Amino acid sequence: MYRYTDFDADFVAERNRQFRQQVARRLDGSLTEDEFKPLRLMNGLYLQLHAYMLRVAIPYGTLNARQMRRLAEIAERWDRGYGHFTTRQNIQFNWPRLRDVPDMLDALAEVGMHAVQTSGNTIRNVTADHLAGAAADEIADPRPVAELIRQWSTDHPEFQFLPRKFKIAITGSPNDRAVTRAHDIGLRLLERDGQTGYEVIVGGGMGRTPMLGQVIRDFLPEADLLPYLEAIVSVWNLLGRRDNKYKARIKITLHEHGIDALRTRVEDRFAELRPAFGGADRAILAALRRDFAPPALAQGRSTRVFETARAADPVFRAWCDSNLAPHRAADHAIVQVSLKAHGAVPGDASAAQMRALADLAERYGHDDLRISHEQNVVLPHVHKADLPQLHAALTAQGLGTANIGRISDIIACPGMDYCALATARSIPVAQEIATRFQALGLEDEIGPLKIKISGCINACGHHHVGHIGILGLDRGGVETYQITLGGDHSETAALGQRIGPGFAADEIVPAVERLVQAYLALRTEPAETFLACYRRLGPEPFKTALYGAGNEARPDAA
């Protein structure tokens, strides 16, 4: 895995020195709050409903045990003993004090981490497939390129005051686990005639106007990547709207100008910028590929203990069935650790759990940990013979929940329990759905089903791409939840459709239950997933399940 070079270490130390000074200047009045705000945001510091919130980047979701332990220490020393892993492969600390933040950033820098550009109108933390470098279906590990993009975008002098935020995601697998079509730029690694390149998708995004990205270049040779990215952002920096922040994202620029006009501008700018890249980026990428070389996996070790345990222990078997993903080495597995214990806060981990995960990654997982956009933790390289012990150790820490990809593996944003922008809560809705379906004992029968919940139209909880999306709104001073159906975050990406009026807080869980019961009754066979069933039948039968036969229009709660 990549370790900070002296350059990175010096850069981050210097950046922290600047931020320490900026905090001091805010306190002494040299900086107004208006001026300080973008500076603190560029360093990941928000002001939330009840306190500041520090958002720390976990670039492309990869971290080692030492880094995970440091996150635990930070949670204990300067926060309240826990952290929240997000859909953007960040961790958020919910209770830091302004004057402590420079010390927290220094503590992060010591282990090669930072909060740079996790917020603000800049290029944000680059996200990638959380199974990168391990998945059986991968063309190539996207992380070397993601790291290159991190270095390029970090502190980019032209791009710190963009019209709005800008998010880049990359996948190295045709099975898209990075939601590339919902990002300002999505990159899909391709191989064509023995050459590595990228399909470049632009203009995706969620928020109040969700859009799926469109292909701007179907095959970009690898050598042209940085100048091409720079051309896109350069064009948008001048062309994007600055008169209305809701129309500033590149998805709106794309919508207003059309893909062909945008492409022409980008290609022209690319021609202009290309000569400025002299090749050093290529040399750096080659070195990064070595840094991300796969670990030396054990050869020839028997997996018999795994098979025996699997046959003998139904709890272990259930966990294997839901939480393991195929590793490219058949005697290894990718372990997905659920941060979605029924009734717990989706994505939260206590300091003790973080430490336990760090220990287990060292003992069984080649010191490699991942954070998924689904708010879970991944140990990407575990020998199957180690799985029974790993499972027992995880279970002891409350981390043994067997529900990856199931109805209780819910993405939920912080919502009104923490977020200043929220219009309703999301966490309690997730908790109640999870505990309800656990009580019904239906999870395994339901199979793969993605519920995603956002506490306002900003859609941080990805509800637009949930098979069942739930959006919390404020309707006349009452928390109200709107359901969308048929969203898909994968390579067959689709935006969910709103199918009717919203539900009050005490109606939303029963509504979800009716939907799921309808699905169970309607599916042709257990192998037909909720999404497949919805695609086959369309919204009508689900509308009926929600609102009754004839869909007699209930008065909208709005």
Partner 1 sequence: MPRPFTPKVVTANALTEGWVIYLTEDDRWTRSLSEAELLTDEAHAELRLIEASARSAEAVGVYLAEMKPGPDGPEPVHFREDFRRAGPSPRAVPLMTEGS
Partner 2 sequence: MSILVTDTGFAPDDWTGPVCDLASHTDPAALQIAPDTGLVRIRFPSFADGRGFTLARLLRLRGYAGRLRAAGHVIADQYAMARRAGFDEVEIDAALAARQPEGQWLFRADWRAHDHRARLQAHPGARLGAPLGAGL
- Looking from the CA of 410 toward its CB, the CA atoms found within 13 Å total 33
Dist CA 298 CA 541 (whole Å)? 51
Which pair of structure tokens corresponds to residue 333? 């597995």
**Contact map string, positions 36 to 55, toward partner 1, x by CB under 8 A:** -----------xxxxxx---
Q: Is residue 488 part of the contact set for partner 1 (CB under 8 A)?
A: no
Q: Is 455 a residue that touches partner 1 (CB under 8 A)?
A: no
Using CB under 8 A as the binding rule, whether residue 93 contacts partner 2 is answered as no
Closest to 250 measured CA to CA, from 164, 174, 318: 164
Question: Could you give phi then psi for residue 407, rounded to 5 degrees?
Answer: -60, -25
List, as one string, the DSSP characters of 365-390: STT-EEE-TTS-EEEEEEEGGGHHHH
Q: Quick one: what does residue 205 bind among partner 1, ligand SF4, ligand HEM, none, with the CB cut-off 5 to 8 Å set by partner type? A: ligand HEM
Beta strands in 344-467 (DSSP E): 348-350, 369-371, 377-383, 411-412, 451-454
- For residue 427, the minimal CB distance to ligand SF4 (Å) is 10
Residues that bind ligand HEM (CB under 6 A): 46, 48, 53, 86-88, 92, 164, 167, 205-207, 249, 413-414, 418-419, 421, 458-460, 462
Query: Applying CB under 8 A, which of residues 98, 140, 259, 520 lies at the interface with partner 1?
Result: 98
Question: Cβ closer to partner 1: 341 or 385?
Answer: 341
Q: CB of residue 368 vs ligand SF4: minimum separation in angstroms? A: 29
Q: Which listed option, partner 1, ligand SF4, ligand HEM, none, makes contact with residue 348 (CB within 5 to 8 Å by class)? A: partner 1
Q: How far is CA 192 from CA 187, 200, 442, in A?
A: 15, 14, 44
Any contact of residue 33 with partner 2 (CB under 8 A)?
Answer: no
Residue 415 interacts with, from partner 2, ligand SF4, ligand HEM, none (CB under 5-8 Å by kind): ligand SF4
Contact 415, 455 (CB under 8 A): yes
How far apart are CB 272 and partner 2 at their closest, in Å?
Answer: 6
Position 158 contacts partner 2 (CB under 8 A): yes
264 binds, among partner 2, ligand SF4, ligand HEM, none (CB under 5 to 8 A by kind): none
Sheet order of strands, 45-47 included: 45-47, 52-57, 90-93, 82-85, 348-350
Q: Report the DSSP beta bridge partners of residue 494.
A: 488
Q: State which of residues 301, 342, 363, 535 lies at the interface with partner 1 (CB under 8 A).
A: 342
Collapsing DSSP to helix, strand or coil, 40 comes out as: helix
Residue 117 touches partner 2, criterion: CB under 8 A: no
Show the tokens assigned to 497. Answer: 């459709």
Order of strands, sheet of 369-371, starting from the edge strand that comes earlier in the sequence: 62-63, 369-371, 377-383, 332-337, 324-326
CA-to-CA distance for 173 and 275, rounded, in angstroms? 30
Q: Which of 193, 244, 260, 276 binds partner 2 (CB under 8 A)?
A: 276
Q: List Cα–Cα distances, 231 to 47, 168, 219, 238, 364, in angstroms.
A: 33, 14, 16, 11, 43
CB 188 within 8 A of CB 199: yes
- Binding flags for partner 2, 535-554, as an x/- string (CB under 8 A): --------------------
Helices (H) then strands (E): counts for the chain: 18, 21
Compute the least distance from the CB of residue 152 to partner 2, in Å.
Answer: 5
167, interface contact from partner 1, partner 2, ligand HEM, none, CB < 5-8 Å by kind: ligand HEM
Q: Give which of ligand SF4, partner 1, partner 2, none residue 39 binds (C-beta under 5 to 8 Å, depending on kind).
A: partner 2
Question: Toward partner 2, which CB reaches closer, 161 or 315?
Answer: 161
| Partner whose binding site includes residue 350, from ligand SF4, partner 1, partner 2, none (CB under 5 to 8 Å by kind) | partner 1
Using DSSP's 3-state secondary structure scheme, residue 348 falls into strand
Q: Is 447 helix (H, G, I), strand (E, B) or coil?
A: coil
By beta-carbon proximity to partner 1, the closer residue of 185 and 419 is 419
Using the rule CB under 8 A, which residue among 272, 291, 307, 540 binds partner 2?
Answer: 272
Other C-beta atoms closer than 10 Å to the C-beta of 99 total 11
Q: 137 is in the binding site of which of partner 2, ligand HEM, ligand SF4, none (Cβ under 5 to 8 A by kind)? A: none
Q: Which does 273 bind (CB under 5 to 8 A by kind): partner 2, ligand HEM, partner 1, none?
A: partner 2
Task: Check binding of 25 to partner 2 (CB under 8 A).
Answer: yes
- In sequence order, the 6+-apart residues with CB closer than 8 A to the CB of 344 are 398, 431
Answer yes or no whether residue 244 interacts with partner 2 by CB under 8 A: no
Residues that bind ligand SF4 in the complex, under the rule CB under 6 A = 413-415, 419, 421-422, 454-456, 458-461
Per CB under 8 A, residues contacting partner 1 are 26-27, 29, 32-33, 47-52, 80, 82, 96-99, 338, 341-345, 348-350, 353, 395, 398-402, 416-418, 422, 425, 427-428, 431, 474, 477-479
